[in-house]
Amino acid sequence: MSRLDLFIDRMVSQRACLEHAAALVADMNGPAFELGLGNGRTYHHMRKVLDPRDIYVFERAVASHPDSTPPDDMLILGDVFETLPQALDRFGPVAALVHADLGGHDRAKNDTFARNISPYVQPLLAPGGVMVSSDRMYFEGFEELPLPEHAVPGRCFIYRAP
Ligand code: SAM
């Protein structure tokens, strides 16, 4: 596959999985967490499909499109290995939806990162909460859900907390 093919698969999968996850948690209270703002495309889509739910964004350096930049009070700046434990102290296990797109172009590095960050993400989910990730996560006791139509296997993963 070309890099363009891979990029398109990732974008299509993110949209399909985020819309599916938004429907799954529609009856739940609790905020959503966006891990990795980047350009802000997925954050912008989350605002559309999760409105009026609070969306907290975790990012170490903001470089997003102006239309896709969260307000200061919804932005949690810093390295997620530090800010996620702080978020757990601040909010508790309340997140209805967590989306993570923290990786770069190196698949092996992304896998190591996902393995290391998984135990920091897992306790943030409320019971029944849903996690959407561009990389396979390494959770204990979470169910991996089937992908929705249009999502490409291997480009997006969905998990649900018990
Ligand atoms: N989903 C975004 C979009 O649609 O535009 C793209 C996210 S981009 C692939 C990954 C982002 O994760 C980058 O902005 C990077 O700064 C952030 N990131 C990576 N590792 C991080 C870490 N350890 N702590 C905080 N942010 C991190």
Rounded Cα distance, 147 and 153, in Å: 7
Residue 79: what pLDDT?
Answer: 98
Residue 24: what pLDDT?
Answer: 98
| Residue 129 Cα to ligand 1 middle (Å) | 22
Q: If you average pLDDT over every residue of the chain, what do you get?
A: 97
The 10s digit of each residue's pLDDT in 14-27 is: 999 999 999 999 99
**φ, ψ of residue 75 in degrees (nearest 5):** -105, 130
Residue 84: what pLDDT?
Answer: 98
DSSP-based three-state secondary structure for 100: strand
Confidence label for 122 from pLDDT (cuts 50, 70 and 90): very high
Choosing from 60, 68, 76 the residue with most ligand 1 atoms within 8 A of its CB, the one to mutate for a pocket test is 60
DSSP 158: E
> What is the CB < 6 Å shell around ligand 1?
36-42, 58-61, 79-80, 101-102
Instruction: List the domain boundaries for the chain.
Output: 3-160
Ligand 1 atom nearest the C-alpha of 64 is 5
Asked if ipTM goes beyond 0.90, one says yes
pLDDT exceeds 90 at position 7? yes
Fold of the domain spanning 3-160? Rossmann fold (3.40.50)
CA atoms within 13 A on the CB side of 102: 29
Contact call for residues 136 and 157 (beta carbons, < 8 A): yes
Percent of all residues in the chain with a pLDDT value above 90, rounded to a whole number: 98
Rounded mean pLDDT of 140-157? Answer: 97
Choosing from 102, 105, 106 the residue with most ligand 1 atoms within 8 A of its CB, the one to mutate for a pocket test is 102
The 10s digit of each residue's pLDDT in 42-71 is: 999 999 999 999 999 999 999 999 999 999
Question: What pTM was computed for the model?
Answer: 0.97
Nearest protein Cα to ligand 1, atom 2: 38
Rounded Cα distance, 74 and 142, in Å: 27
pLDDT exceeds 90 at position 105? no
Cis peptide before 52 (omega within 30 of 0): yes
| Residue 90 Cα to ligand 1 middle (Å) | 22
